[in-house]
Chain A
Amino acid sequence: MKNAAIHLENLSISYGTTPVVFDVDFSVSEGESFALVGESGSGKSTILKAISGLAPDWSGRISVLGKPRGHKPDREFAKTCQMVFQDPYGSLHPRKTVDDCLAEPLAVHGIGGRDTRVKDMLDAVGLDQRFRFRFPHQLSGGQRQRVAIARALMLEPRVMLLDEPTSALDVSVQAEILNLLKKLRREQGLTYLMVTHNLPVVSFLCDRMAVMRHGRVVEIAEVDALKTGRLSDPYSRELYAASGGTLQPA
């Protein structure tokens, strides 16, 4: 398939002997922002983990930007695809400064000009330069998530996997991070695959979404269907109603 940033075919994932995701097929085109929604345990984060290589026990096909993904850690792959995790309190090393944290991916990949790159990236995610040599515990939740986003962007990936990037944050801080994600995507032409359970966030940030339940995709819909409440699958409609939406006939 041409122009697909992420392409999944018959993807099944298991943890040990427990199957978690069954036969998932979808593709996300370049520059698109795609959401995976569903309740806990529906397998949405597991898909992100499989793509990023954190859940190596999968079968089927995963390709990112036209290149098939193997089961092993892949240094080249890391340059094209990065992940941002849910909890900014858990995903940053407590004993490394912001500077260490942002420079590490560059060191791993042997990229020079670290000093300027770190500075530029702090600007890009809206963090003042004075935060550069602070530790995570000296930052607020919103600032930490900015650092996590900055770290993911250090290698200039074209695909970003976002695992509930705002669910640990307050609404006013969530608004700031959502605006930032939208701005970065516009400026750098990024592709987003985002996991969330918050439908209004999907409405703000995404173009399409897949609704998951019990490890299967039950519906793939345009965001317009979400905005007007015209989802067709009964489960998606239930989820929509539970989020406070007003249903329209499909």
Chain B
Amino acid sequence: MSAPLLEIENLTVTFPTSRGPVDVVKGISFSLGRERLGIVGESGSGKSMTGRSILRLIRKPGRVAADRITFDGIDLLSQSERQMRELRGARISMVMQDPKFSLNPVMTIGEQIGEALLTHRKLPRSELKARVLSMLEAVRINEPERVANLYPHEVSGGMGQRVMIAMMLIPEPDLLIADEPTSALDVSVQAQVLDIIDDLVTGKGMGLILISHDLNLVSRYCDRILVMNSGEIVESCKASDLNKATHPYTKGLLAAMPRMDEERDELPVLDRSTWTTGAGT
């Protein structure tokens, strides 16, 4: 792993409230190579905000401040909005949680995927069509010809999510940010979708940031894991070393999860008093 693909130093995201500004991300730093990084945390831990701030997708009145956000040598903080648009999709792209709300309901699937490519590069129509169909095949959609002509409401959730992945990967970005890509899907479909992301990401040597609340899932699909709690990174470890986690929050999360061969009579509940004050890295 030579120069890191993405470097973040001291990232802070702030939202104003009636009781003064609230930091939802509190000065976190990490770097990412061409590897798979998982960010885990509960609702409100700031994991999605971290993902969004990389793409500068945080709207006003939210404010992003950082000492440094560089992507492949480009300083993302100083880019103009126009320059950002060129990066988004082409170099860094993002898969959102729910295909139902993220696909355009009045465009066919083929058109939408084609648009993602056409925005960044002019292509003859016949080549565009071939690329769209081969991308649909890559996300394991049978009969890509037929599916390309369907509208989003005509496909299932799992298929919609695969369409979204196709759309995000067709410009061949270097970094994919997947924000809870499977939490709207069934368990049996989840594994399929993640396998597809995994195949494509490792096959093309891209970087992946997988944001999720599911520790087990992340540990299965990532190389490295960051655990976030109330805007801070409380634990950073290799996915394989997750069970050796040291921070009480991570341990608490792991213990609170029921297991397949559950014999405990009661699940341990997080004792928030031990780590909310003064803890953090």
Interface residues of A (CB under 8 A from B): 39-40, 141, 170-176, 178-179, 182, 197-201, 203-204, 226-229, 238-240, 242-245
Contacts and interface: CB of A to CB of B under 8 A. Distances in A.
A203 B262 contact: yes
A30 B176 CA distance: 51
Contact of B257 (A39, A141, A171, A227): A171
B149 interface: no
B186 A200 contact: no
Contacts of A178: 258, 267
Contacts of A198: 187, 258
B260 A170 contact: no
B85 to A, nearest CB: 34
Given A197-B187, A242-B188, A175 B259 contact: no
Given A226-B260, A227-B262, A243-B260, A204 B267 contact: yes
13 contacts: A39-B187, A39-B189, A40-B157, A172-B256, A173-B42, A175-B256, A175-B257, A175-B268, A179-B267, A200-B258, A203-B261, A227-B260, A244-B260
Contacts of B266: 179, 182
A172 B188 contact: no
Contacts of A240: 260
Interface in B2-54: 42-43
Contacts of A226: 260
B200 interface: no
B253 interface: yes
Given A178-B267, A179-B269, A171 B253 contact: yes
A104 to B, nearest CB: 29
A241 to B, nearest CB: 8
A211 B180 CA distance: 26
Contact of A243 (B157, B187, B189, B262): B187
Interface string B189-200: 111000000000
A200 B256 contact: no
Contacts of B43: 141, 170
Interface string B243-266: 000000000110011111111111
The binding surface of chain B is classed by DSSP as loop
Contact of A174 (B256, B259, B265): B256
B44 to A, nearest CB: 9
Contacts of B157: 40
Contacts of B189: 39
B270 interface: yes
A202 to B, nearest CB: 9
Contacts of B261: 203, 227-228
Contact of A170 (B42, B216, B267): B42
Contacts of B258: 175, 178, 198, 200-201, 203-204
A171 B186 contact: no
Contacts of A242: 187-188, 190-191
Contacts of B215: 171
Contacts of B213: 170-171
B101 to A, nearest CB: 16
Contact of A39 (B188, B216, B252): B188
B146 interface: no
B186 A172 contact: no
A171 B256 contact: yes
A200 B42 contact: no
B260 A238 contact: no
B220 interface: yes
Nearest to A174: B256
B268 A40 contact: no
A238 B192 CA distance: 12
Q: List the 6 closest pairs (A to B, CB-CB), nearest first.
A: A175-B256, A204-B258, A175-B267, A200-B258, A39-B186, A203-B262
Contacts of B267: 175, 178-179, 204
A200 B262 contact: yes
Given A175-B258, A199-B187, A203-B262, 18 more contacts: A39-B188, A40-B186, A141-B43, A171-B214, A172-B256, A175-B268, A176-B269, A179-B269, A182-B265, A182-B266, A197-B186, A197-B187, A203-B260, A204-B264, A226-B260, A227-B262, A242-B188, A245-B260
A172 B260 contact: no
B17 to A, nearest CB: 15
Contacts of B190: 242
A170 B268 CA distance: 14
Contacts of A203: 258-262
